[in-house]
Amino acid sequence: MENSGLCRAHTNIALIKYWGKRDENLFLPMNSSLSLTLDAFYTDTKVTLEPTAEADTFYLNGVLQGEKETQKIANFIDLFRHEANNNSRVKVESYNHVPTAAGLASSASAFAALSGACRDAFNLELSTEVLSTFARRGSGSATRSLYGGFVEWNKGIDHDSLSSHAIPIDAADWDVAMLVIAVNTGEKKLSSRVGMKQTVETSAFYPAWVESAEKDLIAIKDAIQAQDFIRVGEITEANGMKMHGTMLGAIPPISYWEPESVKAFQKIQEIRAQGIPCYVTMDAGPNVKVLCQGSNIEKIKKILLKDFKPDQLITSGVGSGIQSLKLSDWTY
């Protein structure tokens, strides 16, 4: 019997954002969200059962993690231990091919990969949809990284009905891509978790955000179905900026922006005014993501090279869903 599980998951960037929980323990979101999975950024995770060990161990990028980080994933792995009725401790080895905690969605690929690896290590038969309800409880955005292309996370009714899960809605196999403008890939000071909690609890704009995000979701799904890139882009940019506006309304106000984020936003507006469709979105970090058409990406990059260094501009196509890896594929 196999006693390990290996899994790769890609990150995803939300076009309609998740920013706030209605239940913090169960990771039930205030509103449904929608994302695009990226192929340029991913996490590989290996979970090995260690039945004689007394505690879980966790290595991230080859470095043994301390108590706080280990406890965080141990609590998450408990969900799988419970499901499998197997109390074995595990060793987790994970490699991020994405900057950690920089607003580039490392928690999404991380908990999606960890979910897939736990499923395989504990020999559980779980559909991808049900597995997404597990991933959700590690990090909300991870729910969506189970699938490739455009993915919706249905906010659902409650946890027990397994209704708060991801659904793949479109393969995004048309002219869609993303360009990341890396402004600062260091670790953020305020985690997404704490930032969204503070926003829900104190921002006067919060109820309006939820109402407007639900409307944006309906509109973007319609635009995706019509493969109307411009409409998808316009809704994406507006939704992301509304989320940041809601954060500015928190007390104390929250801003993840840096001066170069503003510069990048302005440059994209200029490029758009020249007739090239491209739209900005940003998450809980200063890095700027540009939703564009793959057919224009090199043109956009060339213009941005006047203001940004080559290694700040990372292009990405559309990523696929989680994949189990073989031990022979594990090259670390």
Footprint of ligand ADP on this chain (CB under 6 A)? 43, 60, 69, 72-73, 94, 96, 100-108, 110, 139, 191-192, 284-285
Minimal distance in Å, beta carbon 42 to ligand ADP? Answer: 10
Residue 175 Cβ vs ligand ADP, minimum distance, rounded to whole Å: 27
The footprint of ligand DP6 on residues 191-250 (CB under 6 A) is: 192-193
Residues 6 or more apart whose CB falls under 8 angstroms from that of 233 comprise 277, 278, 279, 291, 292
Supply angle C-alpha 175, 10, 299, rounded to 5.
35
CB of 240 to Co ion, least distance (A): 15
Q: For residue 45, what are the β-bridge partners?
A: 7, 94
**Site for ligand DP6 contains 33 (CB under 6 A):** yes
d(CA 154, CA 151): 10
* Site residues (CB under 6 A) for ligand DP6, limited to 92-151: 105, 107, 139-141
Please return the burial class of 67, using the count of CB atoms within 10 Å of its CB with bins 0-12, 13-18 and 19+.
exposed
| Angle of helix 67-84 versus helix 128-136 axis, rounded to 10 | 140
Residues 6 or more apart in contact with residue 86 via CB below 8 angstroms: 49, 122
State the nearest-atom distance from the C-beta of 96 to ligand ADP, in Å.
5
Nearer to ligand DP6, 6 or 247 (CB): 247
Chain position whose Cβ is nearest to Co ion: 107
Do 288 and 263 meet the contact criterion of CB atoms below 8 Å apart? no
CA atoms of 240 and 279, how far apart (whole Å): 10
> Residue 186 or residue 207: which is nearer to Co ion going by CB?
186
12 counts as binding Co ion under rule CB under 5 A: no
Q: Which is nearer to ligand ADP, 146 or 300 (CB)?
A: 146
Residues 129 and 113: their CA atoms lie apart, in Å, by: 14
Minimum distance between the CB of residue 241 and ligand DP6, rounded to whole angstroms? Answer: 12
Q: Which of 43, 107, 109, 281 binds Co ion (CB under 5 A)?
A: 107
Task: Give least dist CB 284 to ligand ADP, A.
Answer: 6
Closer of 162 and 276 to ligand DP6 (Cβ): 162
Residue closer to ligand ADP, measured from CB, 90 or 108 = 108
Tokens of 57: 């161990």
Among 242, 236, 243, 313, residue whose Cα is nearest residue 284: 243
- What are the CA-CA distances from residue 204 to residues 30, 33, 243 (Å)? 15, 21, 13
Q: Which stretch binds Co ion (CB under 5 A): 176-184, 190-198, 231-239, 288-296?
A: 190-198
Q: Site map for ligand DP6, 283-302, x if CB under 6 A?
A: xx------------------
141-167 per-residue burial string, b: 16 or more CB within 10 A, e: under 16: bbbbbbbbbbbbbbbbeebeeeebbbb
156 binds ligand DP6 (CB under 6 A): no
Pairing of strands 33-50, 89-97: antiparallel
Using CB atoms within 10 A of its CB, is residue 197 exposed (0-12), middle (13-18) or buried (19+)?
middle
104 binds, among Co ion, ligand DP6, ligand ADP, none (CB under 5 to 8 A by kind): ligand ADP
Give the residue with the Cβ less far from ligand ADP, 6 or 224.
6
Q: Which residues bind ligand DP6 (CB under 6 A)?
A: 14, 17-19, 27, 33, 105, 107, 139-141, 192-193, 283-284
Binding positions for Co ion, rule: CB under 5 A? 107, 192
